[in-house]
Structures are given as structure tokens and as C-alpha cells.
Amino acid sequence: MSKPNILFLMADQMQGRVFEPGHPCLTPNFDWLMDRGVRFTRAYTPNAVCSPARASLMTGLLPHNHGVLTVTHTVAADQSRLRTHHPHWAQRLDAAGYRTGYFGKWHVEEHQPLSDFGWQVSGEMGHGKLKSALLEQKARALRGDRPYEPDYSLSFRLDGGTGYPASVFYGVTDMSPEQRNMGIVTALSLDFLDEALQQDGPWCCFVSMQEPHDPFIAGQEAFDQYDVEAMPLSENVHDDLTGRPGIYRKSARVWAQMTDHQRREAAACYYASITEIDQQFGRILDRVEQGGQMDNTLVVLTSDHGELLGAHGMYCKNFSAYEEIYNIPLIMTGPGMPEGVTTSARVGSHDLCPTLLDLAGCATIENEDSRSFAPVLQDPQTHETAYTTGYAEYFGGRMILTQRIVWDGPWKFVFNGFDFDELYNLEDDPGEMNNLAEQADYTDQLRAMTALMWQKIEATGDHSLAGSNYPPLRVAPYGPGG
């Protein structure tokens, strides 16, 4: 049997809940994918920011093992290097005869050409084909062929009166998707597919959009599909964050002056941006379908992490470990997979590394950090009960801190090395409003969740925390000895 093609579609900062039934976000092409494959309702990111999450996706490793702990463009060069002696799944595909192409936002590391990581054709941000295309777009604008700088019919700027510069946080532009980055990324991807679909042998096309990452900018046509006043707000939007870490409350002050109407406008812009991504990805899916190869193509649709979108009074990600950030979208379709199925299997995006290699019949990448969930994709009902736990880690973004997150069934434990911890029952409290970590009735559950954290720390060689027995560092509720 021939190896399956792989089409990997990734957004940046897209919430997992946009795929929930009845959600106001309009995504007809994503809905079509859901009807053809498997949706994971409990998929999660192993880290809350772009670079560590993307490096984990590529290597199957947790951040403390691959070495990218923060966003690469915010630190000195010697702090943003990926440990290149760890293999990437695209290298395995390359060795197995796949034609590989990567287009759009990379953000894994900043020091090596993508060819070093298995990508034969590269059109990543700031380099190669995408850089050339963007320069040509700007040249056309200077010649008067088309606009280059957007004109906003609606925009909201965060107040710069505190000494921080004012900046656009959301807006509606007159530029179409084809005139913006997402359209150029799509065009480069289609060029690659036009060539790959005409050749013998398997291919892997990775398309990485930088949207709907803040600022939430959408085109007028997509925005007009949404009724701003009808936009629902999160039930926890006015959470005063009592009983949660102080840094959460400090971060929330940035957004405190936003009105509910502005929050609805922000949501409409965010969802409209996703609608535009849906349209662009739909063009790519159509091209594969027209090429007659959809039935032998594994499709992955996901995001590197989520977006708070007003939950708990906050936006973006970074400070806080809430599900709006960590629960990511994940849909997979492909040969032999059931259609129209939803699974509660808890899998991380770093688990995609061994899973893709399993499905492609390539040499695997083995480590203690991730595991293949290929069995779930063959028979979700039988195998999902073996995937109930999850583990993530956060090291801060620009501001260093220590955070570890453990899921086990309905329970979620957040170890905050910088403040008091958090414990939630996500079935009883999906909005994560009631922190149970300091309540005596939940001592046994807190102990059990902390034990799971120490087990993962030991198994994956997280040496910094494994060696935190020095007395002033004993800030976990229970030590590794239980």
C-alpha cells in the first residue's frame, strides 16, 4: 500500500472550542473536515506560547528537553536555539522519500535553514519564497497596483496613557485575504501542491497561518457575516480572579477598561479572522480533492495554542493556565479513519510527532515525553480510555517563571512555582472559577495530582524541578516522596 500524503493545516492562537456544536464562528470547510474525520475535544498544547509549542510539535519533546523555552524573537540568540541533535518528524519523511514543503509562520527557532529539519521547499516568514512574495507585494503597492498598508473601517487601540505605547488590538481592514499574508501563504502552498500532485510518490505540505493571533484583524467581507451585538461573552468574563495567582490579576488590568461592546467587537474580529482562514484552507483542500488524492491524504488541522478572548477578563495567553489557552483544536482525517467521530482522548500536539510517523509507516522517534495515538484514530471508542492524562509546562514569555499543568480525567492541577497552586474539576467547573487547591476536602486529590506531576518530571528528565529539594525551593504542596 502506498504511503499517505500529509496535509498539515495550522493556525496560530485558535481556540479549540470554535469547533463545538452551535459555536458562532463560521467555518464551513472545517465542518466538512469534521464530517470526514475525528475531532479531539480534549487536545492540548504542551506550552502556552508559539516557539516552545511548535518545537514540541516537530520533535515530540517537552520544552525542557528540546531547549526552546520562550518565544525566539524576544531573547538573545544563545537562548533561542533548538537542540538540533534531536530528530524531527519531517526528517523521517524526507528519508522515506516524501516531497516536503513548509509555508508560513515557522517560529520554532531562528538559526538553521528549514532544510536542516527535513523541509525541502521552504516559504517561511522572513525567508525564502515567502519573503520574496511579500517584497513583490510591497513593490506592487508602491507602483500603485494595490494597497499595502490597511485602512481600518473599525479599530480599537489599547490605551497608551500608562506609559506603554498605544497599539491596535482589533480591527477591520479593506484589504482582502489574498492581499494579506494569509493569501500569499496559500498561494505558495498551492504552487507546491500543483507540482506535487503531478508527481509519483508521497508528499507533505505544511501550511502555517499567523492568524488569528492578536491583533485580531479581519477583512470587511468576513466581518460583515457577524452580528456584533449577538456575540456571546464568556461566562467568566467578569471574573475578579479571587483565589488565583496575583500575576493573573496584574495581567488582567490591561483589559479592565474594555466595555462589553468592545469585547463583542473583539470576538467578532477574531471569529471573522478564523472564517478567512477557513476559506484559505478550503482552497487548499479543494486543490487536493481536484487532484484526486484526498482519499490517500492524511489531513491535520490544529493550532499551536489557544486564546483567552476575554475569559477571566484577559486576552491572548502567557499568564494563566486556563483551558481557553491550553485546549486546542485538533481534527484529523485520512485513510482508514472513522468519519464524523468525536473523541475525548486527551492528546498533546507533541504526540503528533510519533503519531504521524506511525501513520506514514516511517521510522519512529521514541522518547518518554510523547506517545502515538494512532490507535485512537483507528478505533476511538476502544482506545480513548487509555488517553486520559496530559502534561504541559510553561517557563514564561519574556518574564521567567515556573508552571506545570497536569490533567487526569476531569481534574486539572496547576503548579505555580511563583505563587499558590490551582486545582479544578473541569466537569463541575468548566469555567475554572473555583480553585480547590487550598480547600481541605480536596487534600487527597491534590496529593494525587502532585504525584502525577513528579512522575512526569522524573520520567522525562526535568532536572531543574527534579532537583528542587533545597529547603527554600520546596514550594510544591507535596514533594516527590508523596
Tell me the domains of the chain and their CATH numbers.
Answer: 5-388 (3.40.720.10), 402-482 (3.30.1120.10)
- Residue 130: per-residue pLDDT: 57
C-alpha–C-alpha distance, residues 419 and 437, integer Å: 12
Task: Please tell me whether residue 371 adopts helix, strand or coil conformation.
Answer: coil
Largest CA distance in the chain: 70
The closest of 300, 387, 289 to 337, measured between CA atoms, is 300
Q: Taking 60 as the threshold, does the pLDDT of residue 146 lie above it?
A: no
C-alpha–C-alpha distance, residues 318 and 351, integer Å: 22
Amino acid identity of residue 197, one-letter, is L
C-alpha–C-alpha distance, residues 279 and 30, integer Å: 9
Mean pLDDT of 158-186: 89
Do β-strands 203-208 and 5-11 pair in parallel, antiparallel, or remain unpaired? parallel
Tally of CA atoms within 13 A in the half-sphere of 463 that contains its CB = 2
pLDDT band at 150; cut points 50, 70, 90:
low
- Residue 464: per-residue pLDDT: 87
Q: Is 481 left (phi over 0), alpha (psi -120 to 50) or beta?
A: alpha
Mean pLDDT of 25-45: 98
Q: Taking 90 as the threshold, does the pLDDT of residue 275 lie above it?
A: yes
Q: Taking 80 as the threshold, does the pLDDT of residue 369 lie above it?
A: yes
C-alpha–C-alpha distance, residues 239 and 252, integer Å: 10
pLDDT band at 399; cut points 50, 70, 90:
confident
- Residue 364: per-residue pLDDT: 92
Query: 438-458 pLDDT, tens per residue?
Result: 999 999 999 999 999 999 999
Q: Name the CA radius of gyration of the chain, rounded.
A: 22
C-alpha–C-alpha distance, residues 198 and 195, integer Å: 5
C-alpha–C-alpha distance, residues 299 and 332, integer Å: 6
Query: 222-273 pLDDT, tens per residue?
Result: 999 999 999 999 999 999 999 999 999 999 999 999 999 999 999 999 999 9
- Residue 296: per-residue pLDDT: 97
Q: Is the dihedral of CA 320, 306, 328, 61 positive or negative?
A: negative
Strand partners, 274: none
Q: Taking 60 as the threshold, does the pLDDT of residue 144 lie above it?
A: no
The closest of 175, 239, 167 to 431, measured between CA atoms, is 239
C-alpha–C-alpha distance, residues 299 and 281, integer Å: 11
pLDDT band at 274; cut points 50, 70, 90:
very high
C-alpha–C-alpha distance, residues 296 and 27, integer Å: 24
pTM of the full structure: 0.94
Task: Please tell me whether residue 321 adopts helix, strand or coil conformation.
Answer: coil
Query: 72-125 pLDDT, tens per residue?
Result: 777 777 666 788 788 999 999 999 999 999 999 998 987 778 999 999 998 876
Q: Taking 90 as the threshold, does the pLDDT of residue 331 lie above it?
A: yes
What kind and span of H or E run contains 187? helix 181-196
Mean pLDDT of 268-286: 98
Mean pLDDT of 128-145: 55
Q: Taking 60 as the threshold, does the pLDDT of residue 139 lie above it?
A: no
C-alpha–C-alpha distance, residues 353 and 363, integer Å: 11
159 phi, psi to nearest 5 deg:
-60, 125
Q: Taking 70 as the threshold, does the pLDDT of residue 149 lie above it?
A: no
Q: Taking 70 as the threshold, does the pLDDT of residue 207 lie above it?
A: yes
- Residue 159: per-residue pLDDT: 79
Q: Taking 60 as the threshold, does the pLDDT of residue 138 lie above it?
A: no
- Residue 482: per-residue pLDDT: 76
Residue that has been written with the C-alpha cell 473599525 in this structure: 154
The mean pLDDT value of the chain amounts to 92
The closest of 82, 296, 105, 281 to 204, measured between CA atoms, is 296
Range from 20-34, 139-153, 326-340 carrying the lowest mean pLDDT: 139-153
